[in-house]
Amino acid sequence: MPTPAATPVSTHDYSAPLRVWHWGNALLVLGQLITILFIKVIVKPKALVPEFQAAAAQHGGNLSKEQGMSIAHLLSERLWDWHIAIGLALASFWAYWLVLQLTAPAERRFTTRLVAAARYYRLAPPAEHPDARHALLAKLTYAAFYLFISVMVLTGLALTWADDVTWLHSMEHSVKEVHNVTMYLLIAFVVVHIVGVVWAELTKDHGLISRMVSGEK
């Protein structure tokens, strides 16, 4: 029985719906990371209190530590409100991606393209192995990202309503740990992804970024 021929696999999907999801998702993830940066690094309540007290003293006021902590916590809560709002928008984009995957033609679905990449890698002749390996690794990194973003969204939603749902509240600590670890994995992916895109743009795949903007191949 003849061995089926290996078919090269396109690494990228430049369809308009996926481009909308890609850039919208990128902005929302960036927004999430910025709010975390402010909450965890810039707007740290204990570190801000002395600054509030010093500012009040310059204007002849007297701010107690408790009052300063209240103001700092208020700022932190407002940032958390932004974090939650962006997270809900991110969840909407995640649902949008799921709809795209369920309604797109079979050949455009990610699972189909991942299986095709694996098949291409398995059947490709030696001369095509580098391209086949690149296509498969690209698909596997996307699979990792989709997993990370799914975990982030689901755990984020669980944390959002943990105080209102008893069974979610009982596992809040564990969910928060998973959410935080996944955040670091997502940051690592973003860094690797940006480096990979820039490297591809400058070497073998000129015009990659413009194609992801315009969709023109």
Overall number of domains in the chain: 1
For residue range 5-39, what is the model confidence (pLDDT) as tens digits?
Answer: 555 555 556 678 888 888 999 999 999 989 988 88
Query: DSSP labels for the chain?
Result: -PPPPP----S----HHHHHHHHHHHHHHHHHHHHHHIIIIIS-HHHHHHHHHHHHHHTT----HHHHHHHHHHHHHHHHHHHHHHHHHHHHHHHHHHHHHHHS-GGGSHHHHHHHHHHHHHH--GGGHHHHHHHHHHHHHHHHHHHHHHHHHHHHHHHHTTTT-HHHHTTHHHHHHHHHHHHHHHHHHHHHHHHHHHHHHHTT-TTHHHHHHH---
Report the pLDDT value the prediction gives residue 93, as an integer from 0 to 100.
94
Is 21 contained in some domain?
yes
- Average pLDDT value for the chain: 85
95-119 burial, b if ≥16 CB within 10 A, otherwise e? eebeebeeebeeeebbeebbebbbb
Which domain covers residue 169, as residue numbers? 16-214
> Is 20 part of any domain?
yes
Residue 149 lies in a domain: yes
pLDDT score at 16 = 82
Question: Are 135 and 116 spatial neighbours (Cβ–Cβ below 8 Å)?
Answer: no
| Domain presence at residue 74 | yes
For the entire predicted model, the pTM comes to 0.80
In a domain, 112, yes or no: yes
Each residue's pLDDT expressed in tens, for the chain with a length of 217 residues: 444 555 555 555 667 888 888 899 999 999 998 998 888 877 776 777 888 888 888 888 888 888 888 888 888 888 889 999 999 999 999 999 999 888 888 888 889 989 999 998 888 888 888 888 888 988 999 999 999 999 999 999 999 998 888 888 889 999 999 999 999 999 999 898 888 888 878 887 777 777 777 766 5
In a domain, 197, yes or no: yes
Task: Output the pLDDT for position 1.
Answer: 44
In a domain, 5, yes or no: no
The CATH number of the domain holding residue 61 is 1.20.950.20
The string of pLDDT tens digits covering residues 141-151 is 999 999 999 99
Let me know if residue 41 belongs to a domain: yes
